[in-house]
Structure 1
Amino acid sequence: MKLVISALVMVLALVACQTKPTKVTSEQGVIGAPEKLMDGGPVILDVRAPFEFNLAHVPGAINIRWEDFSSQDPNSRGVLQDDLFAVARRLSLIGIDPDSKVVILGKGKLGAGEEGRIAWTLEVLGVKNVHTALHTVAREMNPKGDEPPVKNKSMWKPVVDESLFIDSKNFKAYATQKLPPLKMTGKKKSKKAMDLPVSSLFGMNFNEAKLKVVILDVRSSAEYGINNLTKYKNVKAPVVQLEWKEFFTDSNTVAKDLAKKLESKGITQDKIIMVISSHGVRSGAVTFALREMGFRQSVNFAGGYEQWK
């Protein structure tokens, strides 16, 4: 009897010591956008780091980074490249033109808004059928699961939507609610200096628009507490803080039910919303989300605090 018990104990011990099976995480059908999002064979972009992308990605996805389309100036990394026609040419080589359906995959709230930033960039260039989703969303692109070849598009000239962004000079003017003085060149004003340095926003003159402006800071509460625009005496426009993550659902789609919370903070659809983050990535994502939610007078200050300094 003792021998039987001893043998049983040894068997149980051996079973307990065996290596546990590796947990396999499926890339298919996890949290994500509705299945119809993949209908029509969209161009799929993946904005994660190359290492993560190479570990696993949706068949046919193309790995890009928001930095690929931005300034190389270390003081204004979030500003788009000057030559947007060159950016459009690059997009045509990966199958994107203004009529393309584009699905942008990323890490959602575990990332830093890169998907929304790319979505905003595409909309600036005139590509309007753009969606965001988690990278875990997958769909069999073909029965074998092979990578479908990238089909180039014809070269196209972007129709830039300038209402989606605001430069540093204009941002400062509306934030301080003060027009900068015209510069004098010698005894005469040059034709260039005669031009107002501040553009009209959404068809309104400066005095009309400045009364509708609200600044939306979409950094974290911790970042906001360390430094924000309310600490600058010359800033007169109201400043509201709401973290960028609140603008997206857990499945990385736009949180359209956030409108009531925004209204409770004084952000309504008749306001001009100037969105700011560190260097235009999170603010780009939020500008994209706000437009999807119906806040059409939203602009991204792509230079962010990095350029403000």
Structure 2
Amino acid sequence: MRALVLLIAAVTLFTACQQTPTKVVSQEPIIPGTITAEKVMADNPVILDVRAPFEFNLAHVPGAINVRWEDFSQQDPRYRGSLQTDLFAIARRLSLIGIDMDSKVVVLGKGRQGNGEEGRVAWTLQVLGVKEVYTLVNTSYRQLNPKEDRPDVKNKPYWKPVVDESLTISFDNFKAYALQQLPPMKFSSKARTKALGGIPPGALDGPAPSLFGMNFNDAKGKVVILDVRSPQEFGIQNLTQHKEVKAPVVNLEWREFFNDKGMTNREVEKLLTNKNIGKDKIILVISNHGVRSAAVTYALRAMGYRQSVNFAGGYEQWK
């Protein structure tokens, strides 16, 4: 009897080994539209892996380059969500790893298991003017592109970023739209401020910020603040707890914007519609320090929400 059981087990094991491996469907659009993951991979893009160095060194896609979102951000812990002020220095660094504005770049990360790091790096590249940037989960890329022989990355000449300022918003402007009131004019000395003390209230407001070609008054009526932290974080602290904040605040966790392969999730459009967020809205995206909010801004832009912008300073700067 024991011999028969062992024979059946051996036959089962042999049969399992002979099964054809499951084929991964690679014709799925990598972003909304017609560009597929298969086509992107066939063009030998520059591969960035944003996982921690320890994980990267354990195993990574051949030819991938390990970067961290912090590499491109300010070192001061109070402003760590904000990009370095010298964007040309970032561009020079990118040129040394084969990236310029015309490069095709795939950013690999942990997807929904991470904290949006690949979306943050993708957003950073877009701010600098890199036109084609895509995100994927590390394991999905291995399935889609099993080739071991990737060409070596070649340096690119130094290039000057063509900055897309519409992808990010300063603290002062974020605050102005959140409070829906113009920031007061700042003066260089107390004496000048005192001398102008008789001017009527409101006369010193400005300069008025503008978003997406709209003046302040027209834009503020379209603004919605999208908090993409977890519901638990939102419950503990959020902008609705500040009475002076007049803009509507909506919570929708960042993971909803990506599928299991790290690609943009079109199903989230239904959730946005249910929360009265259409493509006509100006969406100010916020998280703790601009990582998850950058990932969501990247996803929103890919889905056609062209008036979405990342507040990179996040709650850390708001505090």
Q: TM-score, normalised by structure 1?
A: 0.85
> How much has 1:149 moved relative to structure 2?
2.4
Range with bigger deviation, 146-155 or 88-97: 146-155
Distance 1:186 1:237, change over 3 A: same
Quickly say closer, same or farther: Cα 1:246–1:89, change in 2 above 3 A: same
1:55 equivalent in structure 2? 58
The residue that corresponds to 2:18 in the other structure is: none
- How far 1:36 sits from its partner (Å)? 2.2
CA contact (8 A) 2:184 2:205 kept: no
2:223 to 189, 192, 213: 213
Give the RMSD, CA atoms, in angstroms. 2.3
1:181 is displaced (CA, Å) by 1.6
Separation in structure 2 between the aligned mates of residue 252 and residue 258 of structure 1, nearest angstrom: 14
Distance 2:109 2:210 in 1: 35
- Tell me if the contact between 2:169 and 2:311 (Cα under 8 Å) persists in the aligned partners: yes
Q: Percent identity?
A: 67
Amino acid corresponding to residue 58 of structure 2 in structure 1: L
Partner of 1:264: 274
- The 1-side partners of 2:294 and 2:25 are apart by 24
Residue of structure 1 in register with 2:106 after alignment: 103
Residue 147 of structure 1 deviates from its aligned partner by 6.1
Among 287, 292, 309, which residue is 2:297 paired with?
A: 287
Residue 260 of structure 2 is aligned to residue 250 of structure 1: yes
Runs of 4+ off more than 6 Å: 28-32
Query: Quick one: which of 68, 73, 76 aligns to 1:73?
Result: 76
Structure-2 change in CA distance of 1:248 and 1:180 (3 Å) = same
SS state of the match for residue 290, structure 1? helix
Kindly state the Cα deviation for residue 30 of structure 1 after the two structures are TM-superposed.
Answer: 6.5
Contact 1:102 1:130 in 2 (8 A): yes
Note the C-alpha offset of 1:301: 0.3
| Contact preservation (8 Å) 1:45, 1:102 | yes
Superposition pairs for residues 1-309 of structure 1, below 5 Å? 34-136=37-139, 137-138=141-142, 139-141=145-147, 145=148, 148-184=151-187, 185-188=189-192, 196-309=206-319
- Secondary structure of 1:285's match? helix
Change (3 A) 1:165 1:74: same
Secondary structure of 1:103 counterpart? strand
Find the residue that maps to 2:78 and give its secondary structure: coil
Partner Cα separation in structure 1 for residue 253 and residue 183 of structure 2: 31
**Contact 1:169–1:198 (8 Å) recurs in 2:** no
Preserved contact between residue 73 and residue 83 of structure 2 (Cα < 8 Å): yes
Instruction: Identify the residue that residue 24 of structure 1 maps to in structure 2.
Output: none
- Aligned pair count reads 282
